[in-house]
Amino acid sequence: MEWKIELKEKPKQFTLVIRKRASVAELPKIIGECYMKIGKYLGELGEQPQSAPFVAYHNLDMENLDLELGFPVGKLLPGKDDMVGGEIPAGSYLTSLYKGPYSEMKGLYDEMMKWMEENGYEMGGAAYEYYLNSPGEVKDESEYLTVVELAVKKK
């Protein structure tokens, strides 16, 4: 499959997130719970997400993922319980739109890693997945839309 992979400079983005450790098998349950909790709190604050919900992957150990789950927001917000205000740092991001089942995203990640190697880049932070739609919105996994962004830096 061919993907359009682009290098972009992005400004910092404020976030409201919950940081968790989980296995890949636990993700569907954890993602739903965290988004619901954060969405409810945003409503209490009278705030709206600025774009699609995301998961930040701080490692790729599928049995013990270090995750931030949350939403981009317009300003730094106060935390509550296990929710914290933070930011996605400004910088260079390798980005691509993926369409299809989450279970088949490895091919895109492999292509992005290959692009980095061929162009003199390496990982410079987390991998972000922004979910433009959800299993509740589309009936077929082939219609899932996810923007993948990898924080990168020159070698």
Side chain identity at 115, as an amino acid letter?
W
Distance of alpha carbon 93 from alpha carbon 153, whole angstroms: 8
Distance of alpha carbon 50 from alpha carbon 67, whole angstroms: 20
The pTM (predicted TM-score) of the whole model is 0.94
Using DSSP bridges, classify how beta strands 65-72 and 13-22 pair: parallel, antiparallel or unpaired: antiparallel
pLDDT of residue 134: 83
pLDDT of residue 85: 97
- Which regions of the chain are under pLDDT 70? 1
Q: Chain-centre distance of CA 79, in angstroms? A: 20
Backbone torsions φ then ψ of 32, nearest 5 degrees = -60, -45
CATH topology of domain 6-154: Multidrug-efflux Transporter 1 Regulator Bmrr; Chain A (3.20.80)
- Domain locations in the chain? 6-154
pLDDT of residue 17: 98
Place of tokens 């933070």: 86
Q: Which residues contact 74 (CB under 8 A, 6 or more apart)?
A: 14, 47, 48, 50
pLDDT of residue 108: 96
**C-beta neighbour count of 24 within 10 angstroms:** 14
pLDDT of residue 94: 98
The DSSP 8-state label assigned to residue 80 in this structure reads B
Place of tokens 């993700």: 27
Q: Which residues contact 55 (CB under 8 A, 6 or more apart)?
A: 27, 31, 67, 68, 69, 128, 129, 131
